[in-house]
Amino acid sequence: MTPRKIIIDTDPGQDDAFAILLALGSPEDVDVLGITAVAGNVPLNWTERNARIVCELAGRADIKVYAGCDRPLKRKLVTAEHVHGKTGLDGPVMVEPTMALQPGHAVDFIIDTLRREPAGTVTLCPLGPLTNIATAFQKAPDVVERIQQIVLMGGGCFEGGNITPVAEFNIFVDPEAADIVFRAGVPLVVMPLDVTHKALTTKARVAAFRALGTNVGRVAAEWADFFERFDKEKYGSEGAPLHDPCVIAWLIRPELFTGRRVNVTVEVQSELTMGQTVTDWWGVTDRAPNALFMGGIDADGFFALLTERLGRL
């Protein structure tokens, strides 16, 4: 099977880093056309740096990394240093990247790539706020129908929110951008907190990263050790949820996940529920389904895949 052509749009973030490594460790499954950084977990100057660090960690300084939007469409940027640390990749000491950032804006790379590649052959994989994606749609509406699929991490249904009682971080940071993307009519696959909160870095799973005996395995374990503090304290969970690599794992082994096609609509009016992904799980409205919304994961299968692919780097 030919590898699926993807663009990873990301705000690294330790969990984004796992997703990028999983993709780069799976060349027979995914062909990473480029990585576009967006402001989110940490400001853009850190997310674009971090994306390059992760590519070099994977031995892939050839990957094109672009800097994108440094703030949401309308709102003030909200970041998550309390979860990811000041750099966004706290835990192990990371060396500064030597590979160059690509010239040009990430949004233009997304537009140009979608116009150049045959229609219906490129999948967008947003792992952060949807600002770059929505900006591309506003600047070049013609590219929307050329997208094969958008497979994103964001939102929540029964799990509620992680930055407000009802909103998940990626959607909350730029709800207007999320609203544009969810209404665009592109085939959507959504990996919400309902799934990612079941993908926890338990001690045994982190030990499996370390047991790889590689630099990547060591760094992955140290990211997990740092990244779990917030969720363990807040949820009392055993480990941290590895949100973003669920997106890439779905591309490689969709059978690890279960979900259903439902309508997902983003709250952009009420400050009380701003950024909530209102998910019609039981089909009680006349709103047409617009997303394959995931609810279940084979967590052991997911970590076995992730660890095996990390082991290749």
Q: Which of 166-174, 184-192, 202-210, 264-272 is the region at the interface with ligand RIB (rule: CB under 6 A)? A: 166-174
- The one-character DSSP state at 158 is T
Q: What are phi and psi of 26, to 5 degrees?
A: -130, 55
Stretch that binds ligand RIB, among 8-16, 47-55, 131-139, 255-263 (CB under 6 A): 8-16
Q: Is 153 in the site for ligand RIB (CB under 6 A)?
A: yes
Q: What is the DSSP string of 189-238?
A: EEE-HHHHTTSB--HHHHHHHHTT-SHHHHHHHHHHHHHHHHHHHHH--S
128 binds ligand RIB (CB under 6 A): yes
Q: How far is the CB of 88 from ligand RIB (least distance, A)?
A: 9
Q: To the nearest whole angstrom, how small is the minimum distance from the Cβ of residue 172 to Ca ion?
A: 12
Query: Which of 16, 179, 231, 280 is close enough to bind ligand RIB by CB under 6 A?
Result: 16
CA-based nearest residue to 307, from 228, 204, 195: 204
Contact call for residue 224 and ligand RIB (CB under 6 A): no
Task: Identify the residue whose tokens are 């338990």.
Answer: 202
Q: Is 127 near ligand RIB (CB under 6 A)?
A: yes
Nearest to 178 by CA among 149, 197, 155, 147: 155
Q: Looking at 48, 168, 174, 228, which residue binds ligand RIB (CB under 6 A)?
A: 168
| Minimum CB distance to ligand RIB smaller for 140 or for 299 | 299
Q: How many helices (H) and strands (E) does the chain have?
A: 12, 10
Taking the C-alpha atoms of residue 164 and residue 155, their distance in angstroms, rounded to an integer, is 11
Largest Cα–Cα distance in the chain? 53
105 is catalytic: no
From 82-90, 194-202, 224-232, 239-247, span contacting Ca ion (CB under 5 A)? 239-247
**The only residue of 243, 249, 267, 310 in contact with ligand RIB, by rule CB under 6 A:** 243
Whose structure tokens read 């799990």? 159
What is the chain's alpha carbon radius of gyration, rounded to the nearest angstrom? 18
What residues have CB less than 8 Å from 81, skipping those under 6 apart? 41, 42, 88
Distance CA 203, CA 306 (A): 15
Q: How far is residue 69's CA from residue 44's CA, in Å, rounded to a whole number?
A: 7
SS3 sequence, 264-281?
EEECCCCCCCCCEEEECC
Which of 128/175 has CB closer to Ca ion? 128
- The piece of 21-29, 52-60, 62-70, 162-170 that touches ligand RIB (CB under 6 A) is 162-170
Instruction: Report, in Å, the least distance between residue 41 CB and ligand RIB.
Output: 5
CB 120, min distance to ligand RIB, A? 26
Among the listed residues 8, 14, 16, 259, the single contact to Ca ion using CB under 5 A:
16
DSSP 89: S
Each residue 259-288 as x (binds ligand RIB by CB under 6 A) or -, in order, gives ------------------------------
Q: Tokens for 231?
A: 């969720």
Site string for ligand RIB, 41-70 (x = CB under 6 A): x-----------------------------
> What are the residue numbers of the active site?
243
Binding residues (CB under 6 A) for ligand RIB: these are 11, 13, 15-16, 40-41, 127-128, 153, 162, 168-170, 243-244
Binding residues (CB under 5 A) for Ca ion: these are 11, 13, 16, 127-128, 244
